[in-house]
Every structure is written in structure tokens, then in C-alpha cells.
Structure 1
Amino acid sequence: MAQLDTLDIVVLAALLLGTIAYLTKGSYWAVTKSPATSSNAAAGNKPQKTRNIVEKMEQSNKNCVVFYGSQTGTAEDYASRLAKEGKSRFGLETMVADLEEYDFDNLDSLGDDKVAMFVLATYGEGEPTDNAVDFYEFITAEDASFSQAADPPLGNLKFVAFGLGNNTYEHYNSMVRNVTKALEKLGAQRIGAAGEGDDGAGTMEEDFLAWKDPMWKALAEKMGLEEREAVYDPVFTVEEKEDLTKESPEVYLGEPNKMHLEGAAKGPFNAHNPYIAPITESRELFNVKDRNCLHMEIDISGSNLSYETGDHIAVWPTNPGKEVDRFLRVTGLIAKRDQVISVKPLEQTAKVPFPSPTTYDAVVRYHMEICAPVSRQFLATLAAFAPTEQAKAEMTKLGNDKDYFHEKITNRCFNIAQALEAVGGQDQWTAIPFSALIEGLNKVQPRYYSISSSSLVQKKKISITAVVESVELPGRDALKGVTTNYLLALMQKQQGVANPDPHGLTYEITGPRNKYDGIHVPVHVRHSNFKLPSDPSKPIIMIGPGTGVAPFRGFIQERAAQAKAGQNVGRTLLFFGCRKASEDFLYSSEWKEYEDALGDKFSLITAFSRDGPNKVYVQHRLLEQAKEVNELLEQKAYFYVCGDAANMAREVNAALIKITAEQRGIPDAKAEEIVKSMRSANQYQEDVWS
């Protein structure tokens, strides 16, 4: 037998290892991939992370899982509330699960002594949220394949469902409707009605509360559960660390993750890891003293971020100092704001929503949504911690009486601290466990803005166009937009205002440990389906009043560059509306430049609602241009709408149906079908908000 030389042995060893890897799917060395994972397992800490939800529930002894599909955090909040209520009222062993963290081919092996809950937001025009895309595609597929050969596949699965939607969109609550239909088609047993919350009508919270009580009753009957008196059972433990100070290097002061804490934040930058981007330019777009609209240029050249024309940029805000102080004061924590705390879950499936150790101030300033409207259910849970019997009675009434809550809290747009001040007067709410505040308040979410520049023209610089939100309310402070006022403060600092104080607010402009100095803002990019046609010769019609014009500035910027480069660019119509030409005509000088580049291919049609005797809006101008609009649509023009969903987008849709009916001499019903088919073919696109 011939002797093996060294090279032969190396090759044979490599083949052997490759064979083992293929046959075992890498399980021989999976536990050694990460030192953290192997040391945790050896120390008997958390079991290894698994994408098998049945295995996860068995490991953690759970009989109820609450899945969520969430874009802005609201669905995640409702999922957490359901899980907490299920445990405290009915003794269910609950866990909350992010849909993107699990596979679903083994849902068929979830025992009939368990229940799955789905809390699903609908994003945009009937789409799943980013974290629910894979689940949605799997569960609605014609050939969904499960681990067992049962018939029907999900005959053992019991589920309940609640959807978060907006009736101003055509595909209202389509996620919960389509998923419910798919699960039932696969044999799953729905318990109670599938609930639907309506953000468009402003009734989301009350819709949720109205749905869950009959749902719990139906579930208790189905699973033989007995209700008990609900008592507060913390999900997290909060320990004050006397051996650490805010100067300690391991203490998070608002950093989103360890890389940022250690000063070496690296990509990829995304929804979990923002890029601290320089603001290279900022300017005011309005010519009026009592309102602001900002234009900002965000430099992404130092990151791996890229964007396409029509995408969104996410800005990670910080809460205003005034509201941070109010929250800490009313909860009795103002003197302990810099106290270092360690927050840990009390059971293995719970997740602390921010890094730890940290400080009370950092949690409230960077991680808690303290400026959001307060929920009636949350106020009811805080009644037990009221400083006086009178305050307890008032909180109980607010929690139980929908109309009274609406009168005293909703109508006045109170956030949590303002509500506690109104109820408690001068008394502080020192008995509220900080864990209850962590559990009851949403995590601060990034805010998304349509990018108002073209990636073809400025590849490494993103433009933002944003109106600063400030609404005067009788008898109280004005209601302020958290993120837009933060951006205003950044602009004022960049322009040399000594003490930036937009609308009576102050911000930690330089960020945690002064790492944002030099005017920086945390951002990431979210890709959108709101896109120009791939063929630039296709005509386009754009409707964008106010800051709805933002993406269309990018569209036209791109078409002007294509025309300059000698490309054939199609007819380009922009309908823009605002109050007065002299006050809020956004980018008024720029449009002339684009007209020079595009010639007769570009037309700007304006509607200044307060410049004439009668109010004129973009939908009126659209009707005036009915002949050309119809001709362009017959040439397969793309039709875009950006802006307010509740009124403008609906009126524009109605105007387009009218134009189609009248210009083509067909019934309204037929015209409506044509407009619907345009949506289905992606020829009619919307980027709207309520």
C-alpha cells in the first residue's frame, strides 16, 4: 500500500470534516461559535437560543405565546400587555415573541393545552411589518409545509388575534384578516373574534380594550381557566448599584448598544444599530414666525448606509429635558436621576428593552416613550400605587370609565407624567415600582421621514424635509412633536443660537457622553416600495401638498439629472399645495431650476389655500387638469400621492375616479375598478400618514 504524504493527509482530513459538517449540519461545533454562548451554557444560564417556538416554550415551561408584528412598537406593547394580563388574571404561563426570531413549520406540534396569540400591525398599503414578512409569506403560502403529516395541518392550534390598522388605507387591517383566514384554512381554531384597532379613527386603545375582555372570557371557557384577582407581578428586577457611578465606563448613558458604549460603533447600521451621522447643512423653509419647516442634509459617507430615491430615513430621537424632569419629579426620582441601576428579567423569555447597567435619567431620556398619550389600562394599573386614597379613587374611575377618561385625559392630550400630576396634585407617586414604568410605557421608537433627495444626484447625502410639530391647547402647554423639536434644536445649535430652546424645550444635543458633538443625529435607512418607474420615459403624476412634496423633490431632482445626461424623460406633473405662496411654498426657487433642466416635460401646478377668496386644494387642481391627467394615465403614467391620509389622500382618490369616469364616459363603479387595478399593478402608489 502506497504511503500517504502530508498533502494527502490534509486533503483527507478536510474531506472528513466537510462530510461530518454536512451530515450533522454543524451541530458538532455549533456551541463553540461564540465564547459567550458556550460559557453561558456551561454555567447553567439561559438555554441556547432556538428558533423552534415549541422547544422554547417547553424549555421555559410556557403554555401561552404572544407573537407580535410591529413597526412602531405599538403592537409589541399590546403583546406585552396581553402576556402580563394573562398571567396576572388567569395564571397562564406567558411569553412574548418577536415573529422574526422564530420558524413556524412546527406550529403544528404546539399542544392543544397551549394557545398562540397574534398581535399584528398592518404597514403601508396592506403589507406586513418588517419583522413579520417571513411569517406572513410562510403562513399564507399555498404550499406551507409543517413538521407533521396531520390533516388539517394546524388542527391542534388554538389562537386569538388582534390587528392594528388605519381605515384611511384601502387595505385596512389586512394583516390580521389575511393571517386569520390562512390559519383557519390550515385548520387552526380561532377563539373569540379577531379584533381590529383603528388608528385612523383615533380609537386604537379603546378598540383593544373592547376586544380583549370578551376574548379573555372565551379563552377561559375554552381552556378551563379560572380568573383571579389581578395583582402586580413584576417582569423585571431593578437594583440600585452603589458601587458604580454615571462616570463608570460600563454604565450606559443612552447608548443603544455595546459598540456605541465602547466608542467603536461599526456597521452594519440598521434598525438595531443607528449611525451617528453629521448634519452638514440645515435651514428654515418657512417665511413665517410662528411655524417652522426644516431642511437638513445628513451625511452618510462614513457609514455602510445607502439609499434609493423614495426611501425613508429613520431619526432616533431623545426626549426633551422639560418632560424628563417632569417625569422624574412626579415619580420621586429627580434627586436620584444619576443613580446607576441594573435591570434584569425575572424570567428567561422577557427582554429588558434597553442596555443595563444604566441610570434613571438615561432610561427616561433615551428609552421611554414618556411624551406619548397615556393609556386608560395603564392608569388603572397604577391606581394601587396612588399617594392618597383620593388619588386612588380618581385613578380607578379614569381606568374604568371610558367617557370620563376621554374628558379628563384624552381631550387634554396628557402624557403619563402630566396625568399623574393632574390626579395627584403636589403629591409624588413614589410607590410606583420603576419596573412597572418600564413595563407600562413603550420603548422610544425611531421616527421615519420620506427622503427628499435623489440617490442618483447625492449618493452619500440624505435630505430631510420636516414640519416642526407644535399645537396650542387651551389651559396647558402646547403639544410638541418629540423628534421635530429635537431636530429644530439641532438646527438652532448649528446656526449659533446660544441656548437652543425650541418652544420652551431643551435637549441633550451632544448625546450620551457628548459623543454627538459637532451636530450629529442617530439615523438608519428603511427601504420603501415608493419608487420611480424603472423606465424614465414613463410619465408620472405626483400629488404632494405640504411636506408631502418631500419624496417628489427627490423624484424631480433625479429626472432633471437624467435629462441633463441626455436621457429621454417622460412628462412630469407635480401638484403642490400650501397655505400661502409667501409663507410656506417649499423649495419655491428650486422648481425653476428643474423647469430649466426638464423644459416642457415638467409642470408645477400649485394650490395656495389661503391666498384667494375660496380655499383651493390639490384635489381641485387635479380636477382642473382632468384632460391631461386622463391622457397620461392612458399612456400608463404612474400616479403618486404623499401626505395626509385621512383627508387629502381620500379626496385625491375620489377626484381620480371622477376624472376617469367623466373623461372616458364610463360609470363611476367602472372607474373605481380601474383605479383599484392601478393600485394592484403598482401604478398608483401612496406614501401617506394620519
Structure 2
Amino acid sequence: MQLHVLNSPFSQEQAELLNQLLPTLTDQQKIWLTGYLSAQAALAGSENTALAPSPSAAAPPQPVSKDVTVLYGSQTGNSEGLAKKTAQHLEEKGFQVTLSSMSDFKPNSLKKINNLLIIVSTHGEGDPPDNALSFHEYVHGRRAPKLDHLSFSVLSLGDSSYEFFCQTGKEFDERLKELGGTRLFDRVDCDLDYDEPFSEWLQGVASSLSEGEAAANPQESAEANTQTAASEYSRTNPFYAEVLENINLNGRGSNKETRHLELSLEGSGLVYEPGDSLGIYPTNDPALVDELITTCGWNAEEAVTVHKNGDTLPLKEALTSHFEITVLTKPLLQKMASFTKSEALQALLEEGNEEKLKAYIAGRDLVDAARDFGPFEGTAADFTAILRKIPARLYSIASSLKANEEEVHLTIGAVRYDAHGRERQGVCSILCAERLEPGDKLPVYIQHNQNFKLPENPEAPIIMVGPGTGIAPFRSFMQEREEVGADGKSWLFFGDQHFVTDFLYQTEWQKWLKDGVLTKMDVAFSRDSEEKVYVQHQMKKQSKELFEWLEQGAYVYVCGDEKHMAHDVHNTLLSIIQEEGAMSKEKAESYLANLQQQKRYQRDVY
């Protein structure tokens, strides 16, 4: 739509400027601009009755509450990090900010809050993260109060390759509205590349809170953040860490390949604690990139844009190092539909075909889509403009910084499988397994995770459940406890396929057991007997002693696969508490929920 001088209050020059600007704005920028103009009009109302002739315009504006509560629900630490940035930004704007995880927040306090900001991720199949469970249940329950006084905004984090994208954030947003709250700024749903939408949300929230005061210079905060990031290594400015060691932990004949990676952090200034993760920005398999270019008939040397600032790279390099090509999502296929006349793709995207679409997406990549729905119209540059950036992969750190100064260790399982007639492989895991040599460098950053931490009291007992690569953080726990001389008891439950080939870090665990750093260890190797035995079975066998440890104040940590292992371990814990504590199912669930509230039941699951 074009503005015309004849039917608008703008001059010829103003109309031309607006016609140039408006088509370039994103939806979020338009929303922000609308709010800003509304706020300016409201402020001007008492000075110019011609702009707002209603009797209320002359009344003095109501004072804006300077108190803001920022709540976060975070599994891996992303939401927590953004919540801290939000709090810092608002405090610099003169607001009094209360920052809290949802698990530490007293739900009844909602009645006393005027301004609430929620930053929350979605975990698993649309579930809240562990530290948001109790607050989510309260808000959606019958005890939730009327919130007519509340102004709120929600920033939700997710991954659009999952069916229930940003589900938890959507649920909080809808429920707070149902309870009578008023949106300060519309909910923003962030995909894996969340920096830009987060910045737009933060500016919109700040503008709404201060009724336009913060809108005078909307780029101020973004520039400040960029300057801060440039002075230290972070998610947006990764450190290129040299590979010191890359070893296969599995023995000859194993069905698995698990890489032990040691990276140098020398000169980076990066620090971490046991329980934190390391983010790696991987590159795509060059063979897969070549296959995609050939299938689409593109020129590998064609220049394509890789950054919003206009930077370009040859297509092959851009597809290798910048764009995600191994995952299909519904939003991506919807965008692809504009590049092809494929009736099959149009039919797949029709309403009512959701299950067929879900089945197609599972296990397929961009090469599959190019073969099934091509040829694509337009240039390669047009097509790459709809692709996501390659997201970082997070791995639980398998070392203690106290024991390995200026180093970080990882435990990475190589992912290989067949699907839909083609061999598939994990982007980062196969990079590490097949194309990474000592001396090479990887772009990395530290992802702090306050939701998976050793007890502050070194005498507190700990129970660790970590089959397969879930062993990684517990290696860091043991190294740390050995370095500080912690006296607390420790118990490991570990499982894998075969004792001979798959007992990861076996000699280290046996040494810790011999030296008393590790008090007790139970292992389960599922393929060494006719009946498959897993970690939850070993827990059940030791139920009496395990419950005694819980009663003595033990902390329980679970790391590994969420969908199966963590679910089974959770149910086993409930069963043990119910039987050994002579409790009803409801009381056992309350007991376990209380452990979570006390941070004595922590999970690092994926």
C-alpha cells in the first residue's frame, strides 16, 4: 500500500520517505512503531487538545510503576541469560527490577505485582522446563488469582523444528490474559537464532514501560550490548579453541563411537563450573553441501548474503558454514512453497494434513525436499534468504576447570543412521568424529547452567544417573570434588550396551572408587544379558538404600535422553519413594516435587 499526498496529512516529501521506509519494516518493528506513536500521542494529549479532543486528554497522566518483576524458566540457561540482560537494561533505565527463576518465586506474590516480564523456554514435547513446572501449574490452576492490575509481556524460546514450538510461552501469555492481565507488548516467539527478536522485544517492552521515554534512541541498548560482547567471548562472539585431543572412547567391535574431546581455552578468559555446557558452532558436511548444490542446479561460486549487514560469501562456503540444511520445519516448507509449483508440497501443507507433514519432516533434510518438490524458481541467493543459521550444539562439559586449567573436555556420541533410503549423520558429532584433528580450531562459548549444579555444601551426598554420554557432567563433578576435597558421599548409576567396549572412562571411575572420591557405583550393560538391564533397574534393586540417601539430604542428578531414559528414571524414583516411604502416589509426587523445589533433584536432559 502506497501513501498519497491527496488523501493523507503528509507532504510530498514525507509521503515519499514513508513509502521508502514502510516496506522494509518487519512485523515486530511495525508493532513497536505503532506503540511508540501511540505513546507519543498520549503524552502530547494534555498539551494539544486538537490531537486528542476527549475531556480525559487534559487530565494528568497516571504515574507509571517503576517496579518490574522478571521471571525466567530455563533448562539450559538461555532464558536465564536473556532475563539477566533484560534486568540490567531496565535498571539502567531507572526501573527497580526483581529478577527470579520461576522455581524461587512465590506464586502468591503475583497479586502484588504491577509489571511482569516472563522469559521461558519450551522443553521436550511442549513441556515447561523443570524450574518452571510449579509456577506453570499454579498459574493454570484454580488457585490462580485475578490479575486485572497486571501488565505483562512474554518472550518465549523454542525450536521451530519441534511440533510444539514455543508452547510454554504461548500458554503463559494466553493464561495471564485470561486472568485479566494486559499485554505491555505482544509475545515474541524466538527460534534458535534469538538475538534479533530478543532485542526487538526488549526495546518494545522498555518503550511501553516508560511510555515512550526509552524510544528516543532505540538502538542505544543494542549498541551497548555489541560493545560488551566484543570485549569478551560469548555466544555472539565465540572463541576459536584449539583441539588438543580427539579420542574414541569405545573399544574395538563396539556399535558406538564416542569421542573424548579436549580443547584449549588458553587466552580466552572463559571460565565454567561443573554442570555448565559448551556451545559449538559446527559446519555442514561438504559432501552434503555439494549434493544440495547439484540437485538444485546452482552455481557453487554465486555470491549470497549471509548477514543482515550485507556481507556475502560464495554459495558453497555459505551453505557449509552459515546455513542449516539438515533439518526441515513447517515454516521452512511454507516459505519453500513460493519457490516451486509442486502440487505435492502444496497438498502436504494443506489444513488437515498435519500428521502427513509431521511424518515427512521426520528424518529428512533439504536435499530430500529439493528432490521431492523441485525444481526451485529464483536464484540461490533468493533461496538461502529463507534458511535459518546453523544453530550451536550444546554439550555438557566433562571436566573441572580446577583440575584442567584453561581446558575444557567433552563427551560426544557420533550420530549415524539410515532414513528414507539415505545415510544420515549428526552435523556436529560427525564433524568431531571424522573431520576434526588436533591443531584444528572450533568456535565455542560457555553456556552457564544454574539449574545443574553441585551442592554448595561439600558434605551433602549426591546420586548421579548418567547412561551413555550422560556420564559427561558427572566426570566434571568427580574431578571438582576431588580437587576441593569434598567429604560428601557420592553414588553413580551408569549404563550402556557392553561392559568390555562401552564403559566410558572406566579406569577413572574405578580409581575414584578405590580412592574414596566415589562412594558407590552401580552399572547396567543392556546387551550383556538375555534380559535388557538399564539404570532404572539398578536403582530399583537398591531402592532401600537410595531412599535412605534421600532422607539424609542427598541431591539427585539425571543426565541424558529425556524421552525415554529420564522419563523412566523419574517414574522409578516415584516408585521408590512411594514404596520405601510408605506413601500414597500423591504424597510421593509431592515429595519429589519438593526435592525439585529445594534444587535436590536436577536434570540435564535432551
- TM-score exceeds 0.5: yes
Against the structure 1 CA distance between its residues 660 and 295, is the aligned structure 2 distance closer, same or farther, given a 3 Å change threshold? same
Q: CA deviation at 1:320?
A: 0.9
Report the alpha carbon displacement of residue 636 of structure 1 after superposing the two structures with TM: 0.9
Q: Which of 289, 301, 307 pairs up with 1:338?
A: 301
Q: Post-superposition shift, 1:462?
A: 0.8
| Partner in structure 2 of residue 304 of structure 1 | 269
Preserved CA contact (<8 Å) 1:166 1:198? no
- 1:629 aligns with 546
Contact kept, 8 Å, 2:160 with 2:331, in 1: the verdict is no
Compared with structure 1, are the counterparts of its residues 126 and 269 closer, same or farther at alpha carbon in structure 2 (3 Å cutoff)?
closer
Query: 1:361 matched to which residue of 2?
Result: 316
Structure 1 residues 569, 453: CA separation in 2 closer, same or farther (over 3 Å shift)?
A: same
Q: Does residue 489 in structure 1 map to residue 434 in structure 2?
A: yes
Q: Which amino acid aligns with 2:288?
A: E
Letter in 2 for 1:446: A
Deviations 1:579-634 (CA, angstroms, capped at 9, x unpaired) = 111231111122111122216x5211001112112111111111111122122111
Q: What stretches of structure 2 of length at least 5 have no aligned partner?
A: 1-17, 43-70, 99-111, 175-228
Instruction: Please tell me whether residue 314 in structure 1 is matched to residue 269 in structure 2.
Output: no
Could you tell me which amino acid in structure 2 is paired with residue 318 of structure 1? T
Residue 602 of structure 1: aligned partner: 519
Stretch moving more, 452-461 or 176-185? 176-185
Instruction: Look up the match of 1:544.
Output: 466
Map residues 304-453 of structure 1 onto 2, 5 A cutoff: 304-333=269-298, 335=299, 337-341=300-304, 352-353=307-308, 356-372=311-327, 374-386=328-340, 389=341, 391=342, 393-400=343-350, 403=353, 406=356, 410=360, 413-424=363-374, 428-431=375-378, 434-438=381-385, 440-453=386-399
In 1: Cα distance, 2:121 partner to 2:589 partner: 27
Residues 1:93 and 2:27 are matched in the alignment: no
Q: Which residue of 2 aligns with 1:498?
A: none
Aligned to 2:488: 570
- For residues 470 and 96 of structure 2, what CA distance do their matches in structure 1 show? 41
CA contact under 8 A between 2:122 and 2:165: conserved in structure 1?
no
Alignment map for 1:465-484 (pairs within 5 Å): 465-473=411-419, 475-484=420-429
Residue 599 of structure 2 aligns with which residue?
Answer: 682
1:644–1:453 distance in 2 versus 1, CA, 3 Å: same
1:150-173 deviations in Å (ceiling 9; x for gaps): x9978xx9x999974434654678
Q: 2: distance between equivalents of 1:107 and 1:534?
A: 50
Q: Give, in angstroms, the shift of residue 63 of structure 1.
A: 13
- CA distance in structure 1 between the partners assigned to 2:382 and 2:118 by the alignment: 28
Judged with a 3 Å threshold, the aligned counterparts in structure 2 of structure 1 residues 174 and 446 are, in CA distance, closer, same or farther, namely farther
Whole-Å Cα distance in 1 between the matches of residues 461 and 250 of structure 2? Answer: 30
**Partner in structure 1 of residue 506 of structure 2:** 588
- Corresponding residue of 1:284: 248
Aligned-residue sequence identity (percent) comes to 26
Q: Please give the residue correspondences for 1:209-224 in structure 2 after superposition, counting only pairs within 5 Å.
A: none
Deviations 1:254-309 (A, max 9, x none): xxxxxxxxxxx985111011111111111101123553110011111232111112
Give the AA of the match of 1:578: D
The answer to whether the aligner puts 1:458 opposite 2:404 as a matched pair is yes
**How many Å apart are 1:124 and its aligned residue?**
0.7
Contact 1:197–1:204 (CA under 8 A) maintained in structure 2: no
Does the C-alpha gap of structure 1 residues 535 and 409 become closer, same or farther in structure 2, counting only changes over 3 Å? closer
**Greater CA deviation, 518-527 or 377-386?**
377-386
Given that 1:267 and 1:303 are in contact with CA atoms closer than 8 Å, whether structure 2 keeps it comes out as no
Alignment TM-score, normalising by the size of structure 2? 0.68
Asked if 2 retains the 8 angstrom alpha-carbon contact of 1:453 and 1:557, the reply is yes
Shift of 1:538: 1.4
What amino acid maps onto 1:204 in structure 2? F
The answer to whether the 8 A contact 1:161-1:176 is kept is no
Distance 1:111 1:166 in 2: 44
Q: Contact 1:385–1:432 at 8 Å: present in 2 too?
A: no
Partner of 1:560: 482
Could you tell me which residue of structure 2 aligns to residue 128 of structure 1? Answer: 79
Give the deviation of 1:671 after TM superposition. 1.9
Aligned amino acid, residue 400 of structure 1 = E
Equivalent residue letter for 1:483:
C
What are the equivalent positions in structure 2 for 1:262-277 lying under 5 Å apart?
268-277=232-241
Alpha-carbon distance in structure 1 between the residues aligned to 2:482 and 2:393: 29
What CA distance in whole angstroms lies between the structure 1 residues aligned with 2:96 and 2:582?
A: 44
Aligned to 1:662: 579
Number of positions where the alignment pairs a residue of Structure 1 with one of Structure 2: 483
Deviation digits for residues 28-69 of structure 1, max 9, x if unmatched? xxxxxxxxxxxxxxxxxxxxxxxxxxxxxx9x988999xxxx
Which amino acid is 2:378 matched to? A
The residue aligned with 2:207 is none
SS of the residue corresponding to residue 501 of structure 2 reads coil
- 1:525 maps to 446
- In 2, Cα distance between equivalents of 1:649 and 1:403: 32
CA contact (8 A) 2:83 2:119 kept: no
User: TM-score normalised to the size of structure 1?
Assistant: 0.60
Distance 1:399 1:441 in 2: 18
What amino acid is the match of 1:648? M
CA contact (8 A) 2:74 2:121 kept: no
3-state SS of paired residue (2:574): helix
Give secondary structure in 1 for the equivalent of 2:349.
helix
- Give the 3 Å change call, closer, same or farther, for CA 182–486 of structure 1 in structure 2: farther
8 Å CA contact 2:417, 2:425 repeated in 1: yes
Could you tell me which amino acid in structure 1 is paired with residue 459 of structure 2?
A: S
Contact preservation (8 Å) 2:275, 2:453: yes
User: Per the alignment, in what secondary structure is the counterpart of residue 128 of structure 1?
Assistant: helix
Name the stretch that deviates more: 429-438 or 479-488. Answer: 429-438
Match of 2:65 in 1: none
Distance 2:73 2:411 in 1: 25
In the alignment, the residues of structure 2 paired with residue 319 and residue 175 of structure 1 have an alpha-carbon distance, to the nearest angstrom, of: 40
Deviations 1:518-569 (Å, cap 9, x if unpaired)?
Answer: 322111111122111122221111000111110001111222334xxxx451
1:615 aligned to which of 517, 522, 532: 532
**Is 2:124 aligned against 1:166?**
yes
Tell me if structure 2 keeps the 8 A contact 1:166–1:201. Answer: no
**1:339 and 1:131, CA in 2 relative to 1: closer, same or farther beyond 3 A?**
same
Q: CA RMSD in A?
A: 4.7
Cross-structure match for 1:507:
none
CA distance in 2, matches of 1:338, 1:466: 33
Instruction: State how 1:26-37 maps to structure 2 within 5 Å.
Output: none
CA deviation digits over 1:382-428, x for unaligned, max 9? 33332xx5x2x22211221553773696266222232121223xxx4
Find the aligned partners of 1:161 and 1:614 in 2 and give their Cα distance.
45
CA distance in 2, matches of 1:615, 1:573: 22
- Contact between 1:200 and 1:646, CA under 8 Å: does it hold in 2? no
